[in-house]
Structure 1
């Protein structure tokens, strides 16, 4: 059986607050283990890795032109 991680430890590992972790849990972004209804909530390492993968986005390439104007050409 995998080691269970408490809410406080999971928030520290992810670098987020406990409130943010609870919001992610309530919205279904992160899976969790809860043995008894209204009981303690635990996370596994696989759950945390899955959450990191969901929240990681590819960087978008920087746009070359930020305006609609065309760059000036060299004088000929």
Structure 2
């Protein structure tokens, strides 16, 4: 059986607040374990890894000419 991680530990591992973690859980973004209704909530390492994968976005390439100005000619 996988080790269960408390809310406080999970928030620390992810680098987010407990409130943000609870919001992600309530929105269905992260899986959790709860043995009884209104009981303690736990997370698994696999669940945290899946959440990180969902929240990871690929970097977009930077545009070459971000401005409309033309560069000066050194010889002119």
- 1:63 deviation in Å? 1.2
TM-score, normalising length: structure 1: 0.87
User: What are the within-5 Å matches in structure 2 for residues 52-67 of structure 1?
Assistant: 52-67=52-67
Q: 4+ residue runs of structure 1 moved beyond 6 angstroms?
A: none
- Identify unmatched segments of 5+ residues in structure 1: none
- Identify unmatched segments of 5+ residues in structure 2: none
TM-score, normalising length: structure 2: 0.87
Residue-pair matches, total:
75
RMSD: 1.6
